[in-house]
Amino acid sequence: MRFLLCGDIVGRSGREVVIAHLPRLRRELALDFVIANGENAAHGFGITDTICGELYAAGVDVITTGNHVWDRREIIGYIGGDPRLLRPINFPPGTPGRGHAVLALPGGRKLLVINAMARLFMDAIDDPFTGVDRLLAEHPLGAVDGILVDFHGEATSEKMSMGHFCDGRVSAVIGTHSHVPTADCQILPGGTAYMTDAGMCGDYDSVIGMQKEAAVARFVRKMPGERLQVAEGEGTLCAAFVETDDATGLARRIAPLRLGGRLQPHWPLLAMAAANP
């Protein structure tokens, strides 16, 4: 099985680069499934039902979120009716929506997608490790053909801990939220693919997707300033590509993908071919 997780989509430039490239990526990488974190897709803050529809039409199968999921209040009434739009599983009981989805793939295969959120330097919410552990007991590898965890968090230590916590039990743990792609993609000893952060899909001539002048001023002056505005230059698509073993559901390969914009391009299959002559 091959799937792609696109990092946080930030504003219009992030949406446009994903929508422009995804049909080609699905075709040339022979992707079975595409996940995208969409919590910053609506002008940098939140997501709307219209944007969900645009991403689905472009080839996204499941949209994950995080701490900005409720920034557009209209999504509160929508999320419960869309089984492909997830919010973190460790939000308190009674929160609208769901934190996981079991999706059917061609050939009778099933993929479990889990959206969880970290707690260090984040909102005070329920324990993500307990929530993930409970779901893995209900849907272990074997009962499903693949399991992806989007772990949305700030601290690299907490993300790494989730990777090792899930090692051997899921196909991949991919971090989101920091908007900067990390260089640590690897297959952990138990067979789980791991990357601390997939990066963002957006304009990298910015401060994590926001216009740089106002963002820098906040640090220089330490005074309240104007509301941050999303950067709208050319976007870069940042994602993590994972291929799993059909027999075990564990990872065979993981590689970053970067297309367009300011960052150095990286194409997964070329990199894997060079590493595996």
Spell out the alpha helix ranges (H) of the chain.
11-28, 49-58, 75-78, 128-138, 156-166, 212-221, 268-275
Going by the DSSP 8-state scheme, the letter that residue 223 receives in this structure is: S
| β strands within 46-109, DSSP E | 62-64, 100-104
Catalytic residue among 68, 152, 177, 179: 68
* Both tokens assigned to 238: 């940042």
With residues binned 3-state (H G I as helix, E B as strand, rest as coil), the percentages for the chain, rounded to 5, are: 30, 25, 45
Among residues 126, 145, 125, 133, which one has the least CA distance to residue 33?
145
Q: Which residue has the tokens 């079975």?
A: 32
Q: What are 29's strand-pairing partners?
A: none
Answer yes or no: 68 catalytic: yes
* Both tokens assigned to 272: 């894997």
Contacts of residue 228, defined as CB under 8 A and 6 or more positions apart, other chains included, come to: 44, 210, 211, 214, 215
What is the DSSP annotation of 140-205? -BTTBSEEEEEEE-S-HHHHHHHHHHHTTTSSEEEEESS-S--S--EE-TTS-EEES---EEB-SS
- Where in the sequence numbering do the catalytic residues fall? 68
